[in-house]
Amino acid sequence: MTEKKFQPVGAGVRKKDAAALTMGKPVYTEDIAPKGCLCVKLLHSPHAHAMIEEIDVSRAQKAPGVACVLTYKDVPDVRFTQAGQTYPEFSPYDRLILDRHLRCVGDPVAIVAAQTERQALAAMRLIKVSYKVLPAVLDPMEAIDNETIIHPEENWRALVPSCGADNKRNLVAQGVDEQGDIEAELAACDMVIDRVYTTKANQQCMMETFRAFTRMDTYGRLEIVASTQVPFHVRRIIATALDIPKSQVRVVKPRIGGGFGAKQTAVCEQYPAIVTMKTGLPAMLVYTREESMTLSSPRHAMRMHVRLGAMKDGTIRAIDLHTISNSGAYGEHGPTTVGLSGHKSIPIYTHNMKAFRFAWDVVYTNTMSAGAYRGYGATQGLFAVESAVNELAHALDMDPAKVREMNIVREGETMPAYYGEIAGSCAIDRCLARAKEMIGWDEKYPAHTMPNGHIRAVGMALAMQGSGISGVDTGAVMIRLGDDGVYNMAIGATDMGTGCDTVLAQMAAQSLDCSVENITVHGVDTDTSPYDCGSYASSTTYVTGMAVVKTCEELRKKITRVGAKLLGIAEGDALFEGDCVREADGERSVSLTEIANAHMMAGVEDISACVSSGSPISPPPFMAGCAEIDLDPLTGEVKLVDYVGVVDCGTVINPNLARVQTEGGLMQGIGMALMECPTMNERGRTVTNSFLQYKIPARVDAVSVRVEFEPSYEKTGPFGAKSIGECVINTPAPAIADAVYNASGVRVRDLPITAEKILLGDRE
Amino acid sequence: MMEIRFTLNGRAVTAMAEADDSLYTVLRGLGISSVKCGCETTNCGLCTVHMDGQAVLSCSIPAPRCEGHSIVTLEGLQEEAKALGGCLADEGAEQCGFCAPGLMMNVLALAKENPAATDEEIDAYLAGNLCRCSGYMSQRRAVKKYLAMAAGEVRA
């Protein structure tokens, strides 16, 4: 084996699209829309639950500039799900593009398309609707078997009935996973922490709201250009919703202004799509921030009942978790998100575990439909289980770090609560030790009073996630050798700002021993890109990354074969050396440029490869986080002074991008912990409908966030890598909650942790 | 509709606007794609441009008020912004990039107003530029590097 000339893996190279993004180039959906696109607007339901009795659009249709006004009478009676998941989706087929039955405030009543936004809005005011208002189910605790049925329709369909969906009972999913005799083990424990924790329907708040434009292409097919994480799923979803063959739909993904899971749901694509189908004209819908806050795909609000059984010495013997998840008016991601609340929290405490039980109910209510948000249920479950572990430590008068050190999963252990997978690469112990050092845990725990009367305190939490969906997620990569030896790489994975175009190019450059600049990357077009389920579930680095490695292996063989042919030697006597193919025991070589140019003449041999990859396992990344807060006991105001995160994501492919992923995820977790408070009024209307009411962290809200890596080596991953995208959002809520307890004696079990809750809470 | 005449990136332009159109709407209409809208409530900073040398939110400037004024967007500062863009890229701080143009415009204004800004001053000056991807730390590192680099150039 000759020495490598290039070492792109592990280098903090710039993102390939950095220059375009920083210099304000027109690369996003709205920037590249054709001139004269119709402006599409939605009329939203004012009621949480209602039937349309009458709708009169005759005046609106005649208004200036109006191209069409569509109601439930104009759409196919075919139910679908907006959830971007591999077919057959766990999410039930419970939607129409427009429905006479309105199930939440904001549910679309009519679609208006006009030449300008002003005209569309003016026409919308001319639509006359009379509603029959129905009793609304707003409380998820009252949903199951309520006499009000949210989806009574006969054509409601669950494609995967084993998930326990039953529309007649307002159930999206129900189930239980267990091992051992949980009741007997809990009874045998010295102590059981029995608590209920709740989390809210947080908004992803990507800076670019939902948007898409559509047009008929040269071949008479529907082209959708959308800000989406799941172009291939959007193709299927829209074809199903419009009741047209999938061959008639093409989806293109330009640059995306952030996603965080929000755009794993086809929130808006169907509306311009049906306008284009009806009118033949290009159409664009850009959600307002208000629409993005009130009719989108936020986190599932969950109520988690934890019973954590332990012995006096601190060994954790049993965890029982019951999660109730509010899916809202539709079932998008309902059956799947809930699973992570247990499967990505309980396994952390595998080491001494004798039994566990994880049960769940996912319910329909007349609230905004939930969806996918970074962490995808794990964030909620980890707030509950990690808080319970902290509460256990306090009850036993032990250091929470010590309790964790005793109980955390060790590398090589089988995790029964994680589908029986083995922790093949696991540095959670090193993450914990390093996080403690960085924050100065032993000196600072639990709290001390400052000269100004404020209290400084620390808190900690652990987290895990997965790397793709085992046995489901698929990524394919195609690489072709082009002029002068450049490699053209086509991927179906969607860079949404995370930098996966670049990270995957680094892997290809490593495998092909060339510079990252020698790999061109082409983003997603469902007509030309190889299939990829999309960028979600922390899958891209691990799943699509492995496809890169496999594709490169095949490509190297082909290049070697052609090189050997040109040298006039046997294939076995030739070596691939990145910039050339060389005679194994000789001096002669043929350059990559010569090989590339030769294969473009007289049909020598096509040099391209396309390999798909998936994984039967989903190796968890692990992380430890510690918070230091400053609490004003007079007002209850909490300021985050410092947050440290130490991550085991396996091999770090690009340290800059991995660091920013971590810092960004932590900040979202900090927002969820301290300020983001989605709120609904008694009539089911979301009142936190702008950045004035829904506060996300600004740069003055966290003085210091520090990140380090403690890599393990995942042998099933590309170059030893696992995932990073989601794991990093999970620790702040439980860590900050415990710091607040250490400072104030008040245990907040209901996010967010506000000054009011601290000041008015009971001291324990 | 009314006619508005102003200077855009050094060139005289005439635009048609309704009385209640914002500068943001007019700029997008003129094909200026660097300005973005992330909210409707003047919270996000994505639409920041320079008006007579001052950083302003273009969504909050009624278009008719631009009559006779000078407006500069990132399209007009491509050379000046290159070094700052490079600093952001070296940290991976641009991420999705949607907030980048507004941030760049505000940092360029900061560099003129307070070239020796401390961490606190940087955070306070840029507090109105929201970013959901980065968690801000990488942006702070990039801005510090840029300010140091710009100061070095002035000395040299």
Q: Considering only alpha carbons, which residue of chain B is nearest residue A725?
A: B133
B16 touches chain A (CB under 8 A): no
- Residue % of chain A over a pLDDT of 90: 97
Strand partners of residue B15: B4
Q: Model confidence over A270-298: pLDDT tens digits?
A: 999 999 999 999 999 999 999 999 999 99
Q: pLDDT-based confidence at A602, cuts 50/70/90? A: confident
Is residue B30 within 8 Å of residue B73, measured between CB atoms? no
Contact residues on chain B for A208, CB-CB shorter than 8 A: 36, 38, 96, 98
pLDDT for A104 equals 98
What single letter denotes the amino acid at residue A199?
T
**Residue contact B98–A257, C-beta within 8 A:** yes
The domain A435-441+621-764 is classified under which CATH number: 3.30.70.3270, 3.40.50.12240, 3.30.365.10, 1.10.10.10?
3.30.365.10
Region A600-618 average pLDDT: 89
Tell me: pLDDT of A764 over 90: no
CA distance A356 to A186: 10
CA A348, A352, A354, A359: dihedral to nearest 10 degrees?
A: -20
Q: Indicate whether A604 pLDDT > 80.
A: no
Residue A2 pLDDT more than 80?
no
Residue A265 DSSP label: B
Considering only the beta carbons, identify the residue of A18, A22, A700 that sits closest to B123: A700
- Specify the CATH class of A18-26+470-614 in words: alpha beta
Contacts of B69 (CB under 8 A, 6+ apart): B6, B7, B51, B52
- Determine, for residues A659 and B140 on separate chains, whether the beta-carbon distance falls below 8 Å: no
Q: Is residue A4 scored above 90 in pLDDT?
A: no
Lowest model confidence (mean pLDDT) among A552-556, A594-598, B76-80? A594-598
Half-sphere exposure of A426 (CA within 13 A, CB side): 26
The whole-number pLDDT of residue A136 equals: 98
Give the model confidence (pLDDT) of A680-693 as tens digits: 999 999 999 999 99
Q: What is the pLDDT of residue B156?
A: 55
3-state secondary structure of A653: coil
Instruction: Answer yes or no: same fold for A18-26+470-614 and A435-441+621-764.
Output: yes
Cα(A374)–Cα(A539) distance, integer angstroms: 12
Contacts of A28 (CB under 8 A, 6+ apart): A208, A227, A254, A255, A256, A257, B33, B36, B98
Q: Which of residues 94-123 of B touch A (CB under 8 A)?
A: 94-101, 104, 123
Residue B67: which region, alpha, beta or left (left: phi > 0; alpha: psi -120 to 50)? beta
pLDDT of residue A1: 46
pTM for the full predicted model: 0.97
Confidence of residue A262 (pLDDT cuts 50, 70, 90): very high
- Residue A621 makes CB contacts below 8 A (sequence gap 6+) with A464, A465, A467, A538, A647, A648, A649, A650, A722, A723, A724, A727
Cα A410 off chain centre by: 27
CB contact under 8 A, A668 and B132: yes
β-pairing, A249-252 with B2-8? unpaired
Query: What's residue B100's pLDDT?
Result: 98
Reduced to 3 states (helix: H, G, I; strand: E, B; else coil), residue A376 is coil
Give me the residue spans of the domains in chain A.
18-26+470-614, 33-134+204-294, 435-441+621-764
What does the pLDDT look like over B52-78, one tens digit per residue? 999 999 999 999 999 999 999 999 999
> What average pLDDT does chain A have?
97
d(CA A278, CA A31): 24
Q: Does B141 touch chain A (CB under 8 A)?
A: no
CA distances from B61 to A381, A629, B50 (A): 45, 39, 11
Residues A497 and B133 sit within 8 Å (Cβ to Cβ): yes
Name all domains of chain B by residue range, CATH numbers in brackets.
Answer: 2-75 (3.10.20.30), 77-150 (1.10.150.120)
DSSP A126-166: T-EEEEEE------GGGTTT-SS-S---TT-B-S-GGG--B
Q: Which residues pair with A458 in a beta bridge?
A: A628
Best to test chain B binding among A21, A30, A290 (most B CBs inside 10 Å): A21
Cβ atoms A507, A684 nearer than 8 A: no
B18, B44, B127 ranked by CB distance to A691: nearest = B44
- Which SS3 state, helix, strand or coil, does residue A16 take? coil
CB A416 within 8 A of CB A350: yes
Please determine, for residue A677, whether its predicted confidence score (pLDDT) is greater than 90: yes
End-to-end CA distance of chain B: 51
Number of residues in chain B: 156
Both structure tokens of A502: 């670049």
Q: What is the pLDDT of residues A75-122, one digit of tens each?
A: 999 999 999 999 999 999 999 999 999 999 999 999 999 999 999 999
Terminal-to-terminal C-alpha distance of chain A: 65
Q: Return the number of other C-beta atoms located less than 10 Å from residue A597's C-beta.
A: 15
| Residue A597 pLDDT > 50 | yes
Contact call for residues B65 and B51 (beta carbons, < 8 A): no
State the best of A15, A21, A22 to mutate against chain B, taking most chain B CBs within 10 Å. Answer: A22
Residue A78: how many other CB atoms lie within 10 Å: 14
Cα gap A333→A344, rounded to integer Å: 16
pLDDT at position B155: 62
Strand A574-576 vs strand A580-583: parallel, antiparallel, or unpaired?
antiparallel
pLDDT tens digits along A413-457: 999 999 999 999 999 999 999 999 999 999 999 999 999 999 999
Greater confidence (B156 vs A762) lies with A762
Q: What span, in angstroms and rounded, lies between the C-alpha atoms of A176 and A162?
A: 12
Q: What whole-number distance in Å separates Cα of residue A159 and Cα of residue A331?
A: 12
Cβ contact, residue pair A24, B75, below 8 Å: yes
Q: How many CB atoms lie within 10 A of CB A738?
A: 29
CB contact under 8 A, B33 and A118: no
Token code pair at residue B30: 């003129």
pLDDT in tens, A119-153: 999 999 999 999 999 999 999 999 999 999 999 99
Q: What is the pLDDT of residue A762?
A: 87
CATH for A33-134+204-294, options being 3.30.300.90, 3.20.20.70, 1.10.3720.10, 3.90.1170.50: 3.90.1170.50
Say how far apart CA A71 and CA A109 lie, in whole Å. 7
What is the three-state SS of A55-96? EECHHHHHCCCEEEEECHHHCCCCCECCECCCCCCCCCECEC
DSSP A103: -
- In the predicted structure, residue A5 carries a pLDDT above the cut 90: no
Write out the two tokens for A249.
Answer: 């739909």
Q: What is the pLDDT of residues A340-386, one digit of tens each?
A: 999 999 999 999 999 999 999 999 999 999 999 999 999 999 999 99
Which residues in B lie closer than 8 A to residue A666 (C-beta atoms)?
A: 135
Q: What is the dihedral of CA A119, A30, A663, A533, to 10 degrees?
A: 110
**pLDDT band with cut points at 50, 70 and 90 for residue A599:** confident
Mean of pLDDT values over B12-32: 97
Burial code (b: 16+ CB inside 10 Å, e: under 16) for A98-136 equals bbebbbbbbbbbbbbbbbeeebbebbbebbebebeebeb
Q: What is the pLDDT of residues A158-184, one digit of tens each?
A: 999 999 999 999 999 999 999 999 999
